[in-house]
Structure 1
Amino acid sequence: MKTWKRTSAITAAALVAAASLAACGDAPEEGAEKKNDYLPCILSDAGGFNDKSFNQLSYEGVKEAAAKLGSEYKEFESKNENDYAGALEGFVSAGCDTIVTVGFALAAATKESAKANPDIEYILIDDAADGGDDGKTFDGKADEANIKPILYDTAQAAFLAGYAAADYTKTKVVGTYGGQPFPTVTIFMDGFKQGVDYYNKEKGTKVKLVGWEGNDKGVFTGGFDANEKATNTAKQILDQNADVILPVGGPIYQGALTAIKDSGKDVALVGVDADFFETDPNTQAIVFTSILKNMKTSTYEAILAAGEDKLDMAPYVGTLENDGVGLAPFHNFESKISDTLVSELDTVKAGIIDGSIPVTSYLNQ
């Protein structure tokens, strides 16, 4: 049981954040200790805990782990980047034993807080906490010893999605666009491109990918909001005759929903992070598949280990082999895909796992 004592210079911003921290806790699971004083805390990025994506999945992992441990938990939902530092100071003041920060946007604030509070464990989702705040380098070790990075080699799962999209497209054009060119965004686009290229090589086809050339050359909305720019960016992709579209960047996929509806065309959507068919019923008629990051389980397991004083601070990297990433079912498209696609994807997946089909990303270069 952790019984650390801490002191912190609380700024005015931190006092505001501390006052607004939500203390939560479900009833402990049967057999769990009734009053475990271990306290996990979670801070979202500006997308919030209802983003139907990585914030929500990580939050659910913390919530379920706290219930399993028989402890309460605290949460703070950021409105913008100005909330990060104050919320983290609020967590320190509240006595949090483990602080989960969700998203690469929180890397700088997390590292600063971790350096100032070496007796607190930090779990940083989707950033290596290594080599600066752009996340573009990864040497297997966080800058601060008390940060555990949880990362996902989503290029592997996106490769499968790209292969599937190339097999499905009727126009022989598929497209993608992102929020901003961060590595945790472009890793999807890189994998998707590699999957399309591999399909073309194996099948002797010429399916075209629009919206991404690699090396940060592609189409981006400039942010992660479901706004007019997100819709117009999706329209830009559809105007190039794409009939499969992959938006990468949390809520920006909602712009694609609008663009697809306005186009009146038969366009398939590829989701990211979570299975959109399950998390957003509005997508069910058009979601082809989703590129999954098993964030809920990996966050759950990390908090459970931390609550039992067993957290290994080495970075976790989700892959196809350890089920940290994957491809969602085709749901309503099962009757529309080719008879051989599923078996082909199984073969490709096995090749990625055994290394005979290489997939490159910033995590394995």
Structure 2
Amino acid sequence: MRRISKLTRVAVGVASLGLVATACGGTSSESSDGDNSDRGVAIAYDVGGKGDQSFNDAAYSGLTKAKDEYGYKTADIEPTEGETDADKEQRLSSLAKQGYNPVIGVGYAYGPAMKAVAAKYPDTTFGIVDFVVEGKNVASLVFAEEQASYLAGVAAAKATKSNVVGFVGGVDIPLIHKFEAGYKQGVQDTNPKVKVLSQYLTQTAEEGGFASPDKGKAAAEGQIEKKADVVYAAAGLSGQGVIEAAAKAKVWAIGVDSDQYKQAALAKYKNYILTSALKDVGGAVYALSKSVHDKKPLTGTHAFDLKVNGVGLSESNPEYAKVPGLADAVNKAKEGITSGSIKVKTE
């Protein structure tokens, strides 16, 4: 069994760049003078791509942090609709051939491709988010999503007035089960009288569960009709539809991965985004980039949890502090999780 490290969180900033189409998916890149040996971090996006205001954008923030700090050349490449593992292999191989180091696959879907490609480029450090790939030159960056979701559940239980809250998962897979399990436990531990409505948008990512705001909106509307007045989405780009539905109905939404209250594309809905379950994907991308820059590349499995601030709960919305008992309950839950007195379920 490989050693699991816990990394210190690295704060990251968010920037935005335009996209340019390429044969292997849309890409955005920045460069400075120099040859391929100067190239830095490259990321290949998950389903939903850049602009999801959530998971992928969190990864992008880490790339921009590394670029700004080290003068890196960078690349960020979009997925293509209906792509295969072979397409992902080609994308990762192309980035390694161009001299990018590290090359990071954002999302579990890159697992098979990463395993195949990393073995062919032993001098390149590869990273993968949300999945473990065995390899001497691979860093697997995993998170305690259930812990952040537990805190979201505590917040939902404190904020609800109807005693009905909702959970919308993008795809019915083990990764998203972790979000649901933590959320449900947080709700029930806080107020056993609160009912949790759960729905998954699709069975597979190929069906659009992480990339269909219309599906997210419809699911949230259904839960709101059943009296849910707080809805938490772990659904990537589809979560934007959940937030839109919540704002329209004037109930609370809980965002995911990034602090969605601060996302410019969601500004018109932000007054109804109570909080977000945070996942410092950007910090992980930056940490791996820094390790390569320092010539001490990370490999093996690295776990980001609440204890190292790898996950958490945002407090950006001023209304967060106004919900009676919410902040105190969340802080108490944080203490319980980090001390080990609260064991959060993953399924």
Three-state SS of the structure 2 residue aligned to 1:115 is: helix
User: Which residue is equivalent to 2:30?
Assistant: 24
Q: 1:277 aligns with which of 228, 238, 261?
A: 261
Residue 165 in 1 paired to residue 156 in 2? yes
User: Which residue is equivalent to 2:228?
Assistant: 242
Post-superposition Cα deviations, 1:92-122, rounded to whole Å, max 9, x if no partner, equal: 2212221011011222211121122222210
User: Which residue is equivalent to 1:76?
Assistant: 77
User: Residue 45 of structure 1 contacts residue 79 of structure 1 at CA under 8 Å; is this kept in 2?
Assistant: no
Shift in CA distance, 26/155, structure 1 to aligned 2, threshold 3 Å = farther
- Aligned pairs, number: 316
Three-state SS of the structure 1 residue aligned to 2:233 is: strand
Residue 333 in 1 paired to residue 339 in 2? no
User: Which residue is equivalent to 1:321?
Assistant: 307
Three-state SS of the structure 2 residue aligned to 1:179 is: strand
Q: How far is 1:337 from its partner?
A: 0.3
What is the CA–CA distance in structure 2 between the aligned matches of 1:61 and 1:179, rounded to whole Å? Answer: 24
User: Residue 320 of structure 1 contacts residue 326 of structure 1 at CA under 8 Å; is this kept in 2?
Assistant: yes
Three-state SS of the structure 2 residue aligned to 1:321 is: helix
Shift in CA distance, 172/90, structure 1 to aligned 2, threshold 3 Å = same
Shift in CA distance, 107/349, structure 1 to aligned 2, threshold 3 Å = same
What is the CA–CA distance in structure 2 between the aligned matches of 1:74 and 1:257, rounded to whole Å? Answer: 30
Q: 1:311 aligns with which of 291, 297, 308?
A: 297
Supply the AA of the counterpart residue of 1:37.
D
Q: How far is 1:307 from its partner?
A: 1.5
What is the CA–CA distance in structure 1 between the aligned matches of 2:104 and 2:321, rounded to whole Å? Answer: 41
**Structure-to-structure mapping, 1:243-258, within 5 angstroms:** 243-258=229-244
Shift in CA distance, 227/320, structure 1 to aligned 2, threshold 3 Å = closer
Shift in CA distance, 97/257, structure 1 to aligned 2, threshold 3 Å = closer
* Percent identity between the two aligned chains: 29
Residue 219 in 1 paired to residue 200 in 2? yes
User: Residue 182 of structure 2 contacts residue 346 of structure 2 at CA under 8 Å; is this kept in 1?
Assistant: yes
- Which of these two proteins has the greater Rg computed from alpha carbons? 1
Q: How far is 1:26 from its partner?
A: 7.0
Shift in CA distance, 260/351, structure 1 to aligned 2, threshold 3 Å = closer
Three-state SS of the structure 2 residue aligned to 1:245 is: strand
Q: How far is 1:256 from its partner?
A: 1.6
Residue 357 in 1 paired to residue 342 in 2? yes
Supply the AA of the counterpart residue of 2:262.
E
User: Which residue is equivalent to 2:246?
Assistant: 260
What is the CA–CA distance in structure 1 between the aligned matches of 2:27 and 2:267, rounded to whole Å? Answer: 30
What is the CA–CA distance in structure 1 between the aligned matches of 2:39 and 2:316, rounded to whole Å? Answer: 40
User: Residue 231 of structure 2 contacts residue 246 of structure 2 at CA under 8 Å; is this kept in 1?
Assistant: no
Q: 1:233 aligns with which of 219, 228, 252?
A: 219
**Structure-to-structure mapping, 1:22-61, within 5 angstroms:** 22-25=28-31, 37-61=38-62
Give the unaligned 5+ runs of structure 1.
1-14, 28-32, 130-142, 212-217
Supply the AA of the counterpart residue of 1:291.
A
Supply the AA of the counterpart residue of 1:231.
K
User: Which residue is equivalent to 1:186?
Assistant: 177
Q: How far is 1:275 from its partner?
A: 0.6
Shift in CA distance, 303/199, structure 1 to aligned 2, threshold 3 Å = same
Residue 106 in 1 paired to residue 110 in 2? yes
User: Which residue is equivalent to 1:302?
Assistant: 288
Three-state SS of the structure 1 residue aligned to 2:306 is: coil
Report 1 or 2 for greater relative contact order, CA contacts < 8 Å, sequence distance ≥ 6. 2
What is the CA–CA distance in structure 1 between the aligned matches of 2:222 and 2:243, rounded to whole Å? Answer: 13
Supply the AA of the counterpart residue of 1:352.
I
Give the unaligned 5+ runs of structure 2.
1-21, 204-208
Three-state SS of the structure 1 residue aligned to 2:278 is: strand
Shift in CA distance, 17/322, structure 1 to aligned 2, threshold 3 Å = same
What is the CA–CA distance in structure 2 between the aligned matches of 1:261 and 1:21, rounded to whole Å? Answer: 32
Shift in CA distance, 26/95, structure 1 to aligned 2, threshold 3 Å = closer
What is the CA–CA distance in structure 2 between the aligned matches of 1:26 and 1:170, rounded to whole Å? Answer: 54
Q: How far is 1:352 from its partner?
A: 0.7
Residue 196 in 1 paired to residue 181 in 2? no
Supply the AA of the counterpart residue of 1:285.
N
User: Which residue is equivalent to 1:149?
Assistant: 140
Three-state SS of the structure 2 residue aligned to 1:111 is: helix
Q: How far is 1:292 from its partner?
A: 0.2
Shift in CA distance, 174/324, structure 1 to aligned 2, threshold 3 Å = same
